[in-house]
Amino acid sequence: MDRDFLIDLFADFGPVTIRKMFSGYGISADGTNFALALRAGLYLRADEQTIPQFEAEGSQPFQYQTRTKTVTVNSYWQLPARLFDDSEELAGWARAALAAAQRAALRKRPRVRKAAKSKVRKKAASKPAVGRKPAAKRPAAKARKTPRR
């Protein structure tokens, strides 16, 4: 799959951003990655709400081989082949994939650090070192007037 094919495929969905990723492309909308186009096919983001649709179509989750095992990535599922010919229905599946990606992003929000740790760091940073003058008040090193031999 090339970039132009993917842009045409998602035309009914709306504008998408396509970036090189791994051995293919990452497809995103509104800054959220919701699909992968890889050698093996096109995969849409899925979660507990959308996986049953993929299973009903006979789709499989994204898998890849390492030296020792097969890794299954349950968050991306293969697009049913029939949708390549039905761009309107594909747009609906893409919207569901974007919604799944947005739900996943909400769950991944950064956690707030404990207040105690940040107070300790602030205290240590504001305290000057004992027995030393602040850098601005130290006398500058004198330049030598005679060259060294």
Q: Model confidence at 103, in pLDDT bands (50, 70, 90)?
A: very high
**Residue range 6-36, pLDDT digits in tens:** 999 999 998 999 999 888 999 999 899 999 9
pLDDT value at position 67?
94
pLDDT in tens, 79-90: 999 999 998 999
What average pLDDT does the structure give for the chain? 83
Decide: pTM greater than 0.95: no
Q: What is the pLDDT of residue 100?
A: 94
Output the DSSP codes for the chain: --HHHHHHHTTTT---EEEEETTEEEEEETTEEEEEEETTEEEEE--TTTHHHHHHTT--EEEEE-SS-EEEEEEEEEPPGGGGG-HHHHHHHHHHHHHHHHHHHHHTPPPPPPHHHHHHHHHHHHSPPTT---GGGSPPPPPPSSPP-
